[in-house]
Structure 1
Amino acid sequence: MREAYHDQLGQLAAELADMCAMAGDAMERATNALLGADLALAEQVIGDDAKIDDMRANIEEQAYALLALQAPVATDLRIVLAVIHASESVERMGDLALHVAKAARRRHPNHVLSDTVEPYFAEMGRIAVHLAREATGIIRTQDVARARSLEDDDDAMDDLHRHLFTVIMDKEWAHGVPSAVDTTLLGRFYERFADHAVSVAKRTVFVVTGRMPGYGGSSDEV
């Protein structure tokens, strides 16, 4: 019985890692759709979002069953609680990729972003996908040092997000208010995606050490 129970815990973490990988793939496709005005890619992200939602529902169902039937304690309890909280963050990552894809679809066949800010979003997309893939690996390996190293990438995302405001507010901005609004919203989506990826890594640190680290952003909102 105990061996089957620990297999269930391992499966729970594996499913969370798969879900995180899906969110990273979604953001990669959404970014390519955004930068390339690619309607087919945007539609793929939009259509696949339900799969991420279904994975979260399945993970939570399994986690609550383990809580009810096994009454886990110590590290086992931390695993179950961390997976429940992390699955919420990963679902939000998927939602944020969805928002990016919907922006690309809404403006198609036109590009959403001006030439002025496209390079910033290419880099924000790269960082976001990297963070998602790192979070996926951290879930699989429970590597605390690797989890703590995400802080630098998250700081780089925050710096880019702040810089976008200086670009939009510059008197040389010549792309109008709608473009400025799109840029502001999209920048927020990427910044929040990164925060949620860091939150997932923090949950892994909690599993291993029993303490939540104090770095990175909050994950209380999309």
Structure 2
Amino acid sequence: MAENMEKTAAEQAPGEARLKLAATAMADNKKLHANGREKREATNFVDSDSVKKIIEEWPATAKMAAANTIKFYGSPNEATPSYLIWHHNGPWKRTVAFRDGVPHDFPEPHTDVLEQFIDYHVPADKVGLVAQLEGSLVIDRTKGEVSVHCDNEGANTLSINMMHEVVTGKRTPEEAREFIKQEIVEYMMNRPAPYAEKFQFELPEGEQWDPDVAVVKDKELMKAVTEKQEELGLNKPH
């Protein structure tokens, strides 16, 4: 057992399992391209007593961030000892409050414990510019998502607004960092700070996937995948 724990699952996966997963994933890929993803409303909520018990022992910043999010958006849709997750809360696609914080010194020292997501496509040639803006912005081009993590929603909103302005060429990363430095002070001092209070652009509607292009054309593999799909009944119309 100890020897196996030093190996990855990828290394130990049987050849049959590898081909089966590839065949299934390619069939699902085709369906998603054709039909998109089924929209599911978040209807399940974790009961408040369970949530309170989970965050009771969390560090102060994480506990406060979670409590603030619960105050405005209600109980989360999912909960583990380490995370609380809300789906489609307010303008956000997803919000995650996490127990274990990360130190972050821009624009002022704080602890990142709240990550929030939107659907947003960042072109490949703009990713480096967003990285120069600040490290808490996370781009997933394939999923068509951008997330940002900080200690509060105002700072997250501000960073997303600046990300958009960098991507669209309205500001350079340096100009956006300077604006964040000023605007976050206004927000924390309870003065007007519109860029930290709401999105200053229309959020994209629907999935913003960037699936890239297929480059694997190996005939032997494609034949094996097709045969496996037929064996599993994956090519039957539904």
> If the TM-score is normalised by the length of the shorter chain, which range does it land in?
under 0.3
> Which structure has the bigger radius of gyration?
2
Asked which structure has the greater RCO (Cα within 8 Å, sep 6+), the reply is: 1
TM-score normalised by length of structure 1 = 0.26
If each structure's helix is expressed as a fraction of its own residues, which one has the higher value? 1
If each structure's strand is expressed as a fraction of its own residues, which one has the higher value? 2
TM-score normalised by length of structure 2 = 0.25
